Amino acid sequence: MTVRTAPDIGSVQGILRLGNAYCEAQALLTAVELGLFTALHKAPGTERDIRDRLALDGRGLRDFLALLTGLGLLEEEGGRYRNAEGAGRHLVSGMPGYVGGSLLGAKANLYPLWNGLTETLRTGRPRAEAGGFDAMLDDPVELRRYVRMMEGALRPLVPELLKAVDWPAHRSVLDVGGCAGDLVGRLVADHPALTGHVFDLPQMEAPFDERMATLGLSGRTVFHAGDFFRDPLPRADVLVFGHVLHNWSPGRREILMRKAFEAVNPGGVLLVHDRMLTEGGADVDGLVASLIMALVTEEGAEYGVGELTALAEAAGFTSMSCRPLAENETLVLCQKG
């Protein structure tokens, strides 16, 4: 079966297909939610095998599997389905490259909000309910889903972050908004002389403790509960703002950059990564991410490297450099003299 490519928006068919692209996205999200790719990782299966393994009714299953095959997520031969290479790497739960947690979080939390984009553009108000984030963190089920979503978003970036600086030259790292400590855990595991710290809201402490215990890193990492607008940041040689600054207005980003400068030890470095906007370009991934911020936050938006480097210079950092962190992610390094 021929794998479909991006729509040709110069044709009416392409425009209609783009307008219905949510159907294809929902097919992927549903397959992840059902655990289809994880089930097929154990062994390829026929339509009947898949129906039985996933306890499905069967209606629509043949077309569902054919659609996933047409999208390049599955491969079919002689009536038996198996994961395509990309799905096998990134959509099988428990595998190192698994990003399903991010997709499931998007399905539960972000997907419904996009239907409200019209209203957000008219009013400037987000679609997420006021106080909804705090309520989510106080719900154990939703908190776990959120942690998995953050883990899935971070996982593709970790290999490059592990090479971002000369880690053996530093003794401490602080991940601000570091959630359950996935990045800090990897850094400390790879560099035993490094002490890892995470600063996040109090609700994240239990997931952090659980994750560190699972990794065998309890005692080598420290969780600091607080609010980074009210409380001082712990000092460290390397400080990380990952997917943090895009949640806030330019004025609040300025406050956080100044607090980061105070927290970074002399000779240390601040790492900032986000889906930063390409200045003067039609950056589809960055613009989608920025609209997500409009839908879920009171004042957040993506920003360009120029804005960030200006804030870093005003805060006191002596030199800045940037590099791609992933296909749609940018890393800026801010050095403190």
Determine how β-strand 264-274 pairs with β-strand 329-335. antiparallel
The single residue listed with the structure tokens 């593709």 is 156
The active-site residue out of 90, 170, 246, 273 is: 246
The single residue listed with the structure tokens 């200006």 is 310
Per the annotation, the verdict on 191 as an active-site residue is no
Over the range 129-157, which residues count as b (16 or more CB within 10 Å of their CB) and which as e?
eeeebeebbeeeebbebbbbbbbbbbbbb
**Do 73 and 28 contact (CB within 8 A), yes or no?**
yes
Q: In the 8-state DSSP scheme, what is residue 323?
A: E
CA distance 289 to 305: 15
Could you tell me which residues are beta bridge partners of residue 330?
A: 274, 324
Nearest to 264 by CA among 252, 256, 273, 275: 256
**Do 235 and 265 contact (CB within 8 A), yes or no?**
yes
Determine how β-strand 236-242 pairs with β-strand 264-274. parallel
**Do 300 and 250 contact (CB within 8 A), yes or no?**
no
- Supply the residues annotated as catalytic: 246
